[in-house]
A = this chain, B = another copy of it.
Amino acid sequence: MKLVPLADRVVLKQLEAEETTKSGIILTSSAQEKPQEAEIVAVGPGGVIDGKEVKMNVEVGQKVIYSRYAGSEVKLDGKEYIVVRQNDILAIVED
């Protein structure tokens, strides 16, 4: 059982607290939006969305910082996921 995102949506799996500590990343948040670190587990096909061509620039396995402002949380087979639009991903975290 898996989530297949539509359009420009991306399914994220939030990194565990211990993993976050290991990489030395601590996220603080402004009042406007709460950035989050997560790993990409599924990427939508992109295509024409709201009349505009959207190309997907992220890949499964990348660690990203995203803005959770518009994200939706889902629990599937006991695991938690977040579904965001690609545009809610701020940056990729590279080692």
Interface string of A39-70 (1 = CB under 8 A from B): 00010100111111101011000000101111
- Tally of A interface residues using CB under 8 Å: 56
- CB under 8 Å from chain B, chain A span 1-19: 1-7, 9, 11
Give the contacting residue for A1; candidates B73, B77, B93; CB below 8 A. B93
Known: A32-B69, A33-B72. A87 touches B7 (CB 8 A): yes
Known: A52-B51, A55-B48, A70-B32. A90 touches B95 (CB 8 A): no
The closest CB in chain B to the CB of A30 belongs to B73
Q: Point out the residues of chain B lying under 8 angstroms from A78, CB to CB.
A: 24
Q: Point out the residues of chain B lying under 8 angstroms from A11, CB to CB.
A: 91
Could you tell me which A residues sit within 8 Å of B by CB distance? Answer: 1-7, 9, 11, 23-30, 32-33, 35, 42, 44, 47-53, 55, 57-58, 65, 67-78, 80, 83, 86-87, 89-95
